[in-house]
Amino acid sequence: MPVAPERLAGWLGPKWLVVGVALAADGLLMSYDLRLGIAASVLLGVIAAMWLYLALRYGSLSGAPSGRSALVAQVRVQESNRRSAAAITRGESGPQDRPNPTQRP
């Protein structure tokens, strides 16, 4: 069953954690060797440009509705329908009320 993406520590998404680690690694490479750091920065820039293009063209930044969020909503509706149907079924198959024998004439 699909679930909504969770965030780390409430406000930090996994994407930003990866970006932070990549920038920290790039900073370490810059302090070790300037040419190696510049090469890593160019590589990170190319990756960021490709991600931005894909996000604008097809992804979340394009403004198109997300298929995943629609699927999550549909699954939640089905789950609530199943729970309500199970509750109704349990209510109908429970013990029946029997007439009180002291009230018979």
- Give 68-103 pLDDT, tens digit per residue: 777 888 899 999 999 888 888 877 655 556 666 666
Are 2 and 68 in contact by the 8 Å Cβ rule? The answer is: yes
Better-scored residue on pLDDT, 9 or 27: 27
pTM greater than 0.85 (yes/no) = no
Above 80 in pLDDT, residue 24? yes
| Confidence category of residue 42, pLDDT binned at 50, 70, 90 | very high
Above 80 in pLDDT, residue 8? no
Report the percent of the chain where pLDDT is more than 70. Answer: 69
Rounded CA separation 105/5 (Å): 65
Are 44 and 27 in contact by the 8 Å Cβ rule? The answer is: no
**Nearest CA to 47 among 66, 27, 22, 24?**
22
